[in-house]
Chains A and B, each alone.
Chain A
Amino acid sequence: MRLLTQWRGAMPGVFNALIAFAAVSATALAQTPPATVPPAPAAAVPAQAPAAPAPTTPAAPSPVPSSEGVFTGWIDFGYRWRSDVAGSLDTYRSLVNLGSGPKLIGTEFTLTDPKHRLFDQIHVRAYDWGDDPYSTLHIDARKAKLYNLNVDYRDIAYFDDLPSYADPQLAGGGIALNQQSFDMRRRFANAELTFLPGNWISPYFAYDRDSGGGTGVSEFVSNVDEFPVPAQFHDRTSDYRGGVRMEFRRFHVTLEQGGTKFEDDETLFQSGGVNYGNTLAPIFGQTLDLTGYLGAYGARGTSIYSRALMTASATSWLDLYGQFLYSQPKTTVNYQQYDGGNLYLQSQVLFYSSQQYLVSSAAQMPHTTGNLGAEIRPRHRIRITESWTTDRLHNAGSSAENQTLTGGQTAEQQTAALLESTLVTNYNQAEALVYFEATSNLTLRGGYRYVWGDANDAVLPAEGLASVENVKLRQNVGIGGFTYRPASKLSFSAEGESASSGGAFFRTSLYDYQKVRAQARYHTGPISFSADFNLLNNQDPQPGVNYDYLSHQESLSVMWSPAGGKAFDLQGSYTRSDLRSDINYLQPSTEDSLLSNYRDNSHIATALFHINPPHKGPMAPVIMAGGSLVISSGSRPTTYFQPMAKLSLPAGKHLTWFAEWRYYGYNEAFYLYEAFRAHIVTVGLRVTR
């Protein structure tokens, strides 16, 4: 509600208009539906179609007690202690980031208004509040046939300082070159209000907001040297949308119109001091340095978008589906840069002492997507689905830049440039599938998918890395699968695709590939088993590419809950995964042929054991233990352990005391300096009502 209040404060006109529209809609749409409604289509559920008028027998009075608790739910709160982190605190913060302090661990509660005045019920869920790295709040409020209101808020910390991802020489005590790190928070809020839920015509409005802000380290790059500098980040996207859902017996249409507003301000700076950067070796006898720097991005964007969705039960044997989606985001950016020091322009063999660099750019990207499909049931056991999708994205951008160099060897040198860019992609896909119910337990399916498209990218005038590129996509995919349920407790399913391509966008794109997924499940009484197999084999044999990729995962899970888990239950899973990728590339400076070979062989297990020890009286303690482990070998050998244990002791009818221990242990064989270990203990109370 606070969000709504803020929104209302920020957008009084819009808010009042929405209220007015809602009132009008409610008045207009509150009419009683027609007294007689055609029965459901007989073919949809032949055995159940109402063959007679509605029975005259009045519905029995509900046996549900009429009075309910106004407030029901629970709340967990307590205190968390984190041990000193042994090893890399930066890695711990990048991966776990839990800290000490008092915490609202979680709460879920329901408010019920027995008199159904402003609401019928309000449900609230909130987790991990109290300076935790991820806090969530969700509110559902509803009043039958009048409104549904859903509000969601999340606050997620984003800390990232893992130098190894980009500096392989660090393992040998090399140079710390990863100067892209962040200490930010991202906050997401969204609220959606639907009027007249369950009615034939239902308008809705929504507001979403995504914002991020914080500090970090980034780079000022000056030809032959890189200077790490502090950075401040702030971005915000607001999304407003509204629409109407029209749901009738034989068809449905949803129309939605929305718009977004985007701001992104990023500032890199250095004030005072001398920054020598990464290159300490003199160039032509001079040492490069940076004494002052300011780089400021100011990006502003807007977007409008439209959605039209449709489904229809055209006949008893034909269902139709369709979507039309359109968006047109636009961005304008002003960039200002000033840097001073002893700097070097390699292309002109020129030293300079200050630079002013101004850029104005703009881009817009109309994007159209359409989809049409049908499900046809020509026979009792046969279904045919066909669909066609097109996605067309055209981006046009321009940039005007002005650079002024002063000092050093030249009094002043000014250059200006105007660049135009285009990026176009047209993607199309058509798919036809046939489903055949061979028996009541066995369903077979097979079909074909054709994917085609083209793309081109150009920056003019051509210069440097970027050039004009054109590429086409052609892919023929055969599809097959089955589902077999020999008994209600046992099922097998498998699906596969095999593709042959005549063109792909990238060297690592899917080209000639096979995908397989198979699953078996068995569930009986206290025990259930599940097994899963996935495979992707992708080959691109084109000369100059020679891409060879194979990955597969085998998983097994078991859940054992004898006597409904009264004494104990156990669940566990194990996954073995292998990934192998080989592709050639040339060393740009020497054109030596090199091989990028990536391997990831992982063993991953999870387990959770839950026991109710023997006890006297109604206060039953509960013990839980489990956790997960990852042991990975290959290109980045890694181990990651997360065991946990929890003890809950009832302390009263509505009160439970609990204590939880968790351990985080992380190690990398090649990057020992990024390892860490930490213990976390949480003690708290659960109050239930």
Chain B
Amino acid sequence: MRALFPAWLILAAVPLSGQEAPAALPAPTPTPSPYAGSAACSACHEDIFNAFQKSPHAQVDTDQHRGFAGRVCESCHGPAQKHTESASAADIHQPAKMAVAAADKICMGCHLNTPTQVGRLQNSHAKNQVSCVSCHKIHADGPMGLVPRGNAAINTECESCHLNVWAQFQKPNHHKVPENAMSCVDCHNPHGSIRPAMQQSFAANEPGCLNCHGDKRGPFAFEHEPVRFEGCITCHEPHGSTNPRMLTRHEVRFVCLECHANLPGNNSIGRVVGVVPPAFHNLNLPVYQNCTVCHQKVHGSHIDRNLLK
């Protein structure tokens, strides 16, 4: 501003010193737009631009109400006029090289107010600074290219970070994820969910497991509490197990007896749930080593209070 001050003085002095006053003051010079427009970007980044035309994001270039008509590239990379003049990478935003929070802020500028992001506060990806562009390929070719589609592609994407989970799926009893009959997002919502472990939900607020296991849904006249209170993972390892039926223990009796232990633990507030088996359950006899022979309806019964039928 100091440099400009003498200039203003000079300009102010011109009318006073002139022989003839001009008919009108010259029109003020318009402030140059910091935006270069998509066409300018495509001149140098033709390959990216061509591929981008098939991306769902390309509609931003023509959609008037998004606020970036004609400058879709700059909706994420910021004003590019200076970059077009200098051709310097320092004069343009590169979200892939920005801090995650800053890069995600660019995405959230448009995508926050969508149903996808409603569970963002519970999203462990966001908590762990896993940015949107870790999974979404913004420049990818084709309308399905923004994010992996198809079970195999989705599973490959998730597997690259969740190594221990993928290892569990190699165990003999598993959901058919390695076979690509299912994908990780069938059970988990990668954008966050209010259910534990970002589980998907079914019918508004029921566990996502019931999407496929509808016969376990109930409600039952006689419920088995763990199914309602802590869900299927009380007894099952959904990612995979060496135990049949993905049980958490090698024999079904131990799954049952660890809660139905005949040792109800008392704590300061209330005692833990788990009724005591009557004394006729002689565990030395084979029949009592297989609880589900008699207690067939372990997920809940419509008929019998003891989940027998």
Residue A195 CB within 8 A of the other chain: no
Give the bracket for the number of chain A residues in contact with chain B.
35 or more
Residue A624 CB within 8 A of the other chain: no
Q: Are B106 and A48 in contact (CB under 8 A)?
A: yes
Distance to closest chain B CB from A19 (angstroms) = 24
Q: How far is the CA of A578 from the CA of B173 in the complex (A)?
A: 18
Q: How far is the CA of A311 from the CA of B271 in the complex (A)?
A: 40
Known: A37-B67, A474-B269. A168 touches B262 (CB 8 A): no
Chain A positions 564-592 with a Cβ under 8 Å from a chain B Cβ? 573, 575, 577, 583-591
Q: Which of A5-13, A348-356, A392-400 contacts B (4 or more CB under 8 A)?
A: A392-400
Q: Are A327 and B273 in contact (CB under 8 A)?
A: no
Q: Are B228 and A395 in contact (CB under 8 A)?
A: yes
Residue B208 CB within 8 A of the other chain: no
Chain B residues with CB below 8 A from A179, complex form? 293
Write the B163-194 contact mask toward A (1 if CB under 8 angstroms, else 0): 11011101111001011111000000000001
Write the B277-292 contact mask toward A (1 if CB under 8 angstroms, else 0): 1111111101101111
* Cβ-neighbour of B277 out of A278, A367, A465 (below 8 A): A465
Chain A residues with CB below 8 A from B204, complex form? 256, 258, 305-307, 325-327, 369
Q: Are A178 and B290 in contact (CB under 8 A)?
A: yes
Residue A284 CB within 8 A of the other chain: no
Query: What residue of chain A has the Cβ atom nearest to residue B170's Cβ?
Result: A628
Q: Are B161 and A530 in contact (CB under 8 A)?
A: yes
Query: What residue of chain B has the Cβ atom nearest to residue A493's Cβ?
Result: B128
Write the B101-125 contact mask toward A (1 if CB under 8 angstroms, else 0): 1000110111011110111111000
Interface residue SS majority, chain A: strand
Q: Are A59 and B181 in contact (CB under 8 A)?
A: no
Known: A455-B229, A636-B242. A55 touches B53 (CB 8 A): no
Query: What residue of chain A has the Cβ atom nearest to residue B262's Cβ?
Result: A586
Q: Are A362 and B270 in contact (CB under 8 A)?
A: no
Q: How far is the CA of A661 from the CA of B278 in the complex (A)?
A: 53
Q: Are B164 and A371 in contact (CB under 8 A)?
A: no
Known: A369-B205, A481-B128. A331 touches B302 (CB 8 A): yes
Q: How far is the CA of A433 from the CA of B128 in the complex (A)?
A: 12
Q: Are B163 and A573 in contact (CB under 8 A)?
A: yes
Distance to closest chain B CB from A52 (angstroms) = 4
Q: Are A573 and B151 in contact (CB under 8 A)?
A: no
Residue B83 CB within 8 A of the other chain: no
Residue A221 CB within 8 A of the other chain: yes
Residue B238 CB within 8 A of the other chain: no
Interface residues contributed by chain B, number (CB under 8 Å): 156
Q: Which of B1-9, B11-19, B21-29, B245-253 contacts A (4 or more CB under 8 A)?
A: B245-253
Q: How far is the CA of A175 from the CA of B180 in the complex (A)?
A: 37
Residue A407 CB within 8 A of the other chain: no
Q: Are A604 and B170 in contact (CB under 8 A)?
A: yes
Q: How far is the CA of A398 from the CA of B220 in the complex (A)?
A: 9
Residue B88 CB within 8 A of the other chain: no
Q: Are A399 and B222 in contact (CB under 8 A)?
A: yes
Write the A510-546 contact mask toward B (1 if CB under 8 angstroms, else 0): 0000000001010000000010101000001011110
Q: Are A440 and B99 in contact (CB under 8 A)?
A: yes
Chain A residues with CB below 8 A from B105, complex form? 44-45
Chain B residues with CB below 8 A from A289, complex form? none
Q: Which of A78-86, A246-254, A615-623 contacts B (4 or more CB under 8 A)?
A: A246-254
Residue A58 CB within 8 A of the other chain: yes
* Cβ-neighbour of B302 out of A142, A297, A445, A591 (below 8 A): A297
Query: What residue of chain A has the Cβ atom nearest to residue B128's Cβ?
Result: A493
Chain B residues with CB below 8 A from A642, complex form? 170
Residue B133 CB within 8 A of the other chain: no
Chain A residues with CB below 8 A from B37, complex form? 55, 57, 59-60
* Cβ-neighbour of B205 out of A40, A44, A326 (below 8 A): A326
Q: How far is the CA of A423 from the CA of B225 in the complex (A)?
A: 8
Q: Are B219 and A249 in contact (CB under 8 A)?
A: no
Q: Are B225 and A505 in contact (CB under 8 A)?
A: yes
Known: A95-B172, A323-B118, A471-B273. A333 touches B203 (CB 8 A): no
29 pairs, A vs B, C-beta closer than 8 Å: A40-B67, A45-B78, A52-B33, A54-B70, A58-B70, A168-B251, A175-B286, A245-B115, A258-B203, A258-B204, A295-B309, A297-B303, A319-B112, A326-B204, A330-B219, A331-B219, A398-B221, A445-B127, A465-B278, A502-B268, A503-B267, A503-B270, A505-B272, A507-B263, A553-B164, A577-B167, A577-B168, A588-B282, A638-B172
Task: A44-B109, A55-B35, A587-B284 are known; give 10 further A-B pairs, CB within 8 A.
Answer: A166-B290, A188-B211, A221-B309, A327-B203, A329-B206, A455-B225, A505-B230, A542-B267, A598-B254, A600-B242
